Amino acid sequence: MPLSSPPASPARVAELPLLGGADVRFHDMGSGPAVLLLHGSGPGTTAWRAWAPLATALASGGRRVVAPDLVGFGGSRAAAPPPYGRAAWTAQALALADHLGLERISVVGHSLGGAIALAVACARPEAVEAVVAIASLGARMALPAGLDALWASTPGRAQARALLELLHHRGAEITEDAVDARLEAMLEPGPREVYPALFPPPRDRRLDDVTLAPSELAAVAAPVLLVHGDDDRVVPLREGALALLAALPGARLHVFGRCGHAVPAERGAELERLVSRFLEDHV
């Protein structure tokens, strides 16, 4: 979740047969082995805001990068009303891969997107070559206070600053420009109207919805790289990555010190190298 708005990227829209029909906005860059990037949650989140640096680096390194807005975020809209949730977002990822003719993919997800990446690997093991789950949900846990605050966040300048402070490690400098950029994203009319329906209270139900059962995690056949910050207050390290590490048969873990939940923003260059090396080793 970058501290400032990245340059705009051309996007495409596909109509996919889910939730009664959905228009899905996605970015499609580069050529080579396909990588699907799935963003996290929080008001104002879009694929390009979440992934611009990593998407650009992977595409420049000889990969085809597809980064969709999950339905309910950014420019992706469902024709029918909710339910939103794990089933819909997993179906969206698989339907988009089918629409683009991607028979083999690697999946990289952040936070909520990490849980969906694992769900995609569980649903279609023959298609998924590798998974990178960053600050990822997916393991059973009680609702962390930080995640509850993230999902409950509403537009406003004070709220935008509080959100950035929550996402980054304690002591991180939050500039006024960063607050302005986050507030602008939170105030975009379409996503602002839809967002309350994505994570309604009681929010522990949504957390339960995106949690994978132990049998599902054990069935993930692809190699998995878990990446986490040691100061993550949204998905704490112990309940998040350490629990997933114990449950996933082919997982390894990299922990960044002095890093919060916003790993792609706080450790962008290091994350790019880490993900690139992992994909080179396994794809």
- Active-site residue list: 111, 232, 261
Residue 83's CB is within 10 A of a number of other CB atoms, namely: 12
Residue 189's CB is within 10 A of a number of other CB atoms, namely: 7
Distance CA 254, CA 110 (A): 14
Q: Is the peptide bond before 7 cis (omega within 30 degrees of 0)?
A: no
Who contacts 83 (Cβ-Cβ below 8 Å, separation ≥6)?
none
- Which of 162, 58, 50 is closest to 114 using CA atoms? 50
Residue 185 structure tokens: 């994203």
Amino acid at 59: A
Who contacts 246 (Cβ-Cβ below 8 Å, separation ≥6)?
none
Q: Say what angle helices 47-60 and 268-282 make with each other, to 10 degrees.
A: 60
Contact assessment for residue 275 and residue 56, using Cβ atoms and an 8 Å cutoff: no
- Which of 99, 131, 151, 106 is closest to 248 using CA atoms? 131
Distance CA 70, CA 76 (A): 6
Distance CA 115, CA 234 (A): 14
Who contacts 161 (Cβ-Cβ below 8 Å, separation ≥6)?
174, 179
